[in-house]
Structure formats: structure tokens, C-alpha cells
Amino acid sequence: MKNKVQLITYVDRLGKSDIKGLDLLLKNQFKDLFGGVHMLPFYYPIDGEDAGFDPIDHKQIDERLGSWADVKELSASVDVMADLIVNHMSAKSPEFQDFLKKGDDSEFAELFLTFDTVFPNGATEKDLIEIYRPRPGYPFTKVKFDNGQERLIWTTFTTNQIDIDVHSKKGIDYLESILVEFQKSGVNMIRLDAAGYAIKKAGTSSFMIEETFAFIDELTTKAKKMGIAVLVEIHSFYKTQIEIAKKVDFVYDFALPVLVLDTLFNASAENLKNWLNVSPRNAITVLDTHDGIGIVDVASENGEKGLIDDATLNAIVERMHENSGNTSRKATGAAASNLDLYQVNSTYFEALGKDENAYLAARAIQFFVPGIPQVYYVGLFAGENDMDLLAKTNVGRDINRHYYSQDEINEYVETSFFAKFKQLIILRNTHPSFNGEFILKESSNSILNIRWENDRQWSELYLDLKSIHLKITYSNRDKTDSLY
């Protein structure tokens, strides 16, 4: 994976309607901005209950977006990342429909997790309470089979996302077949979606247990033999994230988004600096994604202190809501359907009160901390909360999933803000210092000073948090240049 800024986007929400259009956009208006693109689920169908994360057919590209040949063509110019949805498939899939029709006589019966698969001798109250689920209620859905029998099916997320048994022969073959399709089509990196929930075991939380690490390791080994790198997507306590990072190619730095907000809101980099002293270096850094802004990643757990104390964290969440004019409240918690408990649903620009100066500073921090930066398409446009889409779908995360028209893109790329943002992206992509040594310089907590050095080449960020005054300098042959 190139050490350059990556784009994460839905194919059909960025002006163009298909993969070929995205390819053209990256080669023209976004030329030189991205070393790779993470295309969010482009499988059939893209407009399911969870925006493609509930595929009926994981190996079929939604024909509205194009074909595997189009993915192959795109991979000729940029790295391509795709989601391997390891935990579940759609209730509308042919495999599950066959299971409903034939029950245990179905050839796919072993593919799906039922209550009694995990609890063959029944479950105690303690067993059920220990199960970790990021949403209200228990991860089971009562399903009626064609013969009239009713059974409990394991559904970690929604009733349309049926959990699969990844250790069954059918489960193993299913995931391997997707990897083969990816390899043939030029996908050179995968994100293991919801991997932390893939293994269920009686008497445990069924989240990031020992067997989960083993499963991730096995799948990563298979992928790497095929020339595919692996990014693991886990929202969890920060110490868990550090341990996960030791065992995989890449992890997300999900702690960074709230730590940057803390830094800017409270004019203190103390918590951020503490994290940068221990944070994984094999990270994909983000400020925003297609999901909400994660809170659990910096919070305390079971009485153990998090990266930000609980009182300060609560104040940050409240500030985010206030900055958005309280629009984020309408999309967070119990206010809208299909929501995670540990996230605030808002664009990052709105969370910063639509302050362009603070937003540019936030992106500069992201680009200067260790890791490969990934920019979400709404974040690329400094997007605002899409209340119309939220009202239409009543899905909280849709507040941050705007459909941009080509006219909106044409207008935005001419703005002075985009010109500054573009300069920052290009510096991060091209300056050799970012392939060198990361140095967190000593300073007061009201100052954030980060430097990169690679032989005689260097770049430096200096941010006065009291005034949000940003200064970026860098070597240019034998002289010093300034970006801002």
C-alpha cells in the first residue's frame, strides 16, 4: 500500500454513477490527490438495508456500478481496497433462502449461525449478558422456516444481516472464493468488516476473543499469499487496539478523530501526545468514515481509564452536538434507526462548527501523525450534515453519506478552501520526509509540534492551539518553504 493519502467513498455518491466514472474523476479533477481508493461495498445490491454491507451476492458487482473488469482497470492507476464482509450475508441471499426452505437438509445449513449452534445445551442468563453487541438488545432474530418451525438466528447487526459460521466448510469456502475474485480483479487490499464479531463462543463476550485473533491471522495469511494486504476494522478500548495491531498488517486509528477534537476544543494536546507515544505505526488514520465518529475508542472500559477522561469526553460529545446546531442529535443514539451505541453521527466539518480554519488544522494533524491517511469523500468536501437524506431514510449514519452531484463537485474544486486542502494532500503524498522518522517535539500542551526527517529532507507542523494558528514548513532542496 502506497504511503499516500487514500480516498474512501461510495462509488455512486461522488458525482459519477459507476466505477468508470470514479476512475475518470481520480484521473482528472482529483489527479495526484490519492494513492489508493477504498470503494465501499459495490456488491449486489448497493441499496440494501445497510448501504451494501448486506450483500445478496458478495461476488457480484451491482450492475449499476459496472463490472469486475472496471475494477481491474481502476487498479492499474491506484491501489484498490474492497470490503470483505466476514461476519454476515443478506437474509435475501440464495443460500439463506434455501436454508429457510429446507432447514437442516439444506446444503447451506452449516453456513449460518443459529442460537443452538453456539449454545447446544442452552444458555444461562450469565451467558447472554456477557455477549457484547454495539446495539440495543440481543443478537438474535426469530425466523420462521417454510415447515412452520421457528428458530433463533444469530444477527449481530440487523435482521437482514445473517451471521455466518466462518469455521464451517461452507463458510471457509465462501470467504476464500471472494478472495479469489478480488485477486483476479486487481484488489490489493481488503478491509475485514466487523471481524471482531466473527467468532461466537459460549461463555465469552463473542467479541475479539482469543479465537477471533486466530481467525484473523488465518484469513490474513491466506490473503497475503494472494498478494492482498489486510486492514482490520475494530472499534474497541485503546489497549485492545494496540494488541490487535501487533498481529495484523494494518489497523484503523479510530482514537484519532476524538483526540483531535479534544485537542482543538480544549486547546491542549496532552491527550493526543500521550496517544502518539504509544499508538500503532501500522495504522490507517481517519477523521471520518461512512460510520459515525467513534467514542468507545477513547473511553474508559470496566473502570480502566481511557485516552480521555469521561467527564471531558462527555463535554466533547456535547460540544459536537452544539457545533452542529443540534442536527447530530437527530441522528445519534435512539433518535434514528440502525445506529451503533458508541458513535456520534455527524460530518467532521459540522462537529467542528463548520470552522474552515479548525478543519484544515485537523486534517494537517491527521496527515502528520504516524500512519497512512484516509479521507472520506464527505470529508474531502468539508461536507455538512445531510438532513434531507436523514429525513428520507431515518438511518442515522446517512447524515454523513451525501450524494454529490457533478455540479457540486465542479463548484467545490474552485473554492479557495479546496485549493489549500489540495496543497496539503499533495505535500503529504510527495514529500520524502514522510517515509522517514516521526518526531514529536517537546512543547507546552498548548502547542503541537510534529516533525518528519528523512536524511536531509524534513517537514514540520507547528500549531498554536490557543489561536488555531497553523504553520507548515518543509525542505525544498537546500531551502525552506512554507505551505501555510
The catalytic site residues sit at 193, 233
CA distance linking residue 390 with residue 323, whole number of Å: 18
The x, y and z cell numbers of residue 239, run together, are: 489497549
The x, y and z cell numbers of residue 274, run together, are: 500521550
| Exposure string over 88-118, b if 16+ CB within 10 A, otherwise e | bbbbbbebbbbbbeeeeebebbbbbbbbebb
Nearest alpha-carbon partner for 260 in 482, 1, 3, 450: 450
Q: Please provide the DSSP assignment of 338-392 as one string.
A: S--TTEE-S-HHHHTTT-HHHHHHHHHHHHHSSSEEEEEHHHHTTPPP-HHHHHH
Residues 428/78, Cβ–Cβ less than 8 Å: no
Going by the DSSP 8-state scheme, the letter that residue 164 receives in this structure is B
C-alpha torsion 291→365→265→422, nearest 10: -70
Nearest alpha-carbon partner for 399 in 331, 319, 461, 447: 331
CA atoms within 13 A of residue 405's CA, in its CB half-sphere: 3
Tell whether omega for the bond before 370 is within 30 degrees of 0, i.e. cis: no
Q: State how far the alpha carbon of 260 is from the alpha carbons of 323, 353, 360, 364, in Å.
A: 15, 14, 12, 10
Q: State how far the alpha carbon of 310 is from the alpha carbons of 27, 299, 317, 323, in Å.
A: 45, 7, 11, 20
CA distance linking residue 200 with residue 333, whole number of Å: 26
Task: Please name the helix (run of DSSP H) or strand (run of DSSP E) that holds residue 260, with its range, or none.
Answer: helix 256-265
Place of cell 455527524: 346
Q: State how far the alpha carbon of 288 is from the alpha carbons of 231, 302, 373, in Å.
A: 16, 27, 11
* 298-301 own/partner pairs: CB under 8 Å, 24+ apart: 298/238, 298/255, 298/258, 298/259, 298/262, 298/271, 299/237, 299/342, 301/237
Place of cell 500500500: 1
Q: 41 burial class (0-12, 13-18, 19+ CB within 10 angstroms)?
A: buried
CA distance linking residue 451 with residue 433, whole number of Å: 9
CA distance linking residue 442 with residue 470, whole number of Å: 17
Q: 58 burial class (0-12, 13-18, 19+ CB within 10 angstroms)?
A: buried
